[in-house]
Amino acid sequence: MASAKDKPVKPTVAEAAPAPAATTWAQLAKKNIKQTQPSAAGTGTANYTLSFHVPLIQPRGMLNSNNTCYMNAILQPLAHCPPFYNLFNTIGQRVAFSFNSETPLVESMVMFVKEFQELAAIKELDPFTPEYVYETLRQLKKFDSLRGRQEDADEFLGSLLDTLHEEFDQARRKHQEAMEKQQNGTKSGRHEADGDDTWLEVGKKQKTCQTRTMDMNESPISRMFWGKIRSVVKRPGSRDSATLEPFRSLHLDISSPHIHSVEDALLQLAAIEELDISTSTHAHENQLQDLPPMLVLHIKRFHYDPELGTQKLRRRIAYEMMAPSRRDKPPTYLLVGVVYHHGQYTAGGHYTCDVRRQDGQWIRINDTVIEPISESDVCVGAATPSSSMGAAEVPSLVHGQGEWDGWSRTTEGDAYLLFYMDASLYT
């Protein structure tokens, strides 16, 4: 371990309003980024408009304290993610803290973004350890394993976003119940919950499809990162069935030797797959129904081999600064962050990241070490499909310039998570 590092709703791009009197941030949680105008949520509420514009902040390294590089490599892109930074910065400006609250992770994120100051305010900041974040996570059952051992960065990101979403949703429900009790003189018996709904859709040639949706309550976090994927099963002579499920990242299988790029993996995700079920041939297809403002792609480099156990796929996978990159279509998503995994094993590897700053410049962060890089250092082309070479023999592509060098893949990182942002929202 190294010791040093529904279609997206377009929110209003606006500067934060002057901070009103302090209130409970649970009232803010009721408002999400779908709203384009500030609205009230009861007595003493604050105006809240989420902005996708943030000032240029001073990069700051984070100490690797007891195998925390996988957390550092996730927290850094989130700190430089405009809607994420703005959300918690706004809460910190407008809401009084209560560290005995039922939303400890939200409050630790407020403290975390406060560590990053505007560039004009200070020239340089020392590396720091967000111990309050780590300590909060250790107290939560979902993060029981965070006790001095290396973990998977994708799993950590998922658990972090899930917990933040749950805390926002819990606060919204409590505030709603309190308002109903105040207005009606009694507590409402209604209780919102995530659930399922089923209906019939009529498609081409009047063919019906039984569609089931897995509903989920909304929060500012889900509005940023959650999309919907439509999974369709087609049966000859029978009605198709479809399931709409939320996703917070797309998991891209790269195990096939024909996958050389993220685009290849996405096409494979959407490809029709034939299934043999009880002598009847079914077809299964995935369709991306809705994409979020912040799209996270997980390149699945680890797979289980019955004889060898968990193995890492270290082939180079191409990805683009703009997606899609086809010249006949306008760009949709802009790459704003990359998390790399170094080494062969999850438990013994190291994580670093590249992030795009608010001025469009890229930096590489390895715990406490921060260095400026170019776009060509971030994006790499696909490997030549020559490969009968073993993982340890595959040379690395340095700086994305197409030149091979003698470094092994044990020292060069492999792209593991890609953070994309809806380009129409980037300011």
Angle at 361 between CA 359 and CA 365, to 5 degrees: 120
Instruction: Please give the pLDDT value at position 352.
Output: 96
Please list, in sequence order, all residues whose beta carbon lies within 8 angstroms of the beta carbon of residue 268, skipping any fewer than 6 positions away.
Answer: 253, 256, 259
Length of the chain as a residue count: 427
Cα within 13 Å of Cα(93), Cβ side: 16
**Side chain identity at 170, as an amino acid letter?**
Q
How does pLDDT run across 25-68, given as a tens digit for each residue?
333 333 333 333 332 222 222 334 557 788 888 899 999 988 89
Question: Phi and psi for 236 in degrees, rounded to 5?
Answer: -60, 130
Instruction: Please give the pLDDT value at position 6.
Output: 39
Cα within 13 Å of Cα(134), Cβ side: 19
State the Cα–Cα distance between residues 4 and 198, nearest whole angstrom: 52
User: Among all residues, which ones are annotated catalytic?
Assistant: 69, 350
State the Cα–Cα distance between residues 301 and 312, nearest whole angstrom: 5
Average pLDDT over residues 404-410: 30
Whether the CB-CB separation of 301 and 314 falls below 8 Å is answered with: yes
Whether the CB-CB separation of 83 and 109 falls below 8 Å is answered with: no
Percent of the chain scoring above 70 in pLDDT? 63
**Side chain identity at 325, as an amino acid letter?**
S
Percent of the chain scoring above 90 in pLDDT? 31
Instruction: Please give the pLDDT value at position 314.
Output: 87
Assess whether pLDDT exceeds 80 at residue 414: yes
Question: Phi and psi for 242 in degrees, rounded to 5?
Answer: -135, 145
Higher local confidence (pLDDT), 209 or 96: 96
Whether the CB-CB separation of 61 and 127 falls below 8 Å is answered with: yes
State the Cα–Cα distance between residues 332 and 357, nearest whole angstrom: 19
Average pLDDT over residues 191-200: 51
Instruction: Please give the pLDDT value at position 309.
Output: 80
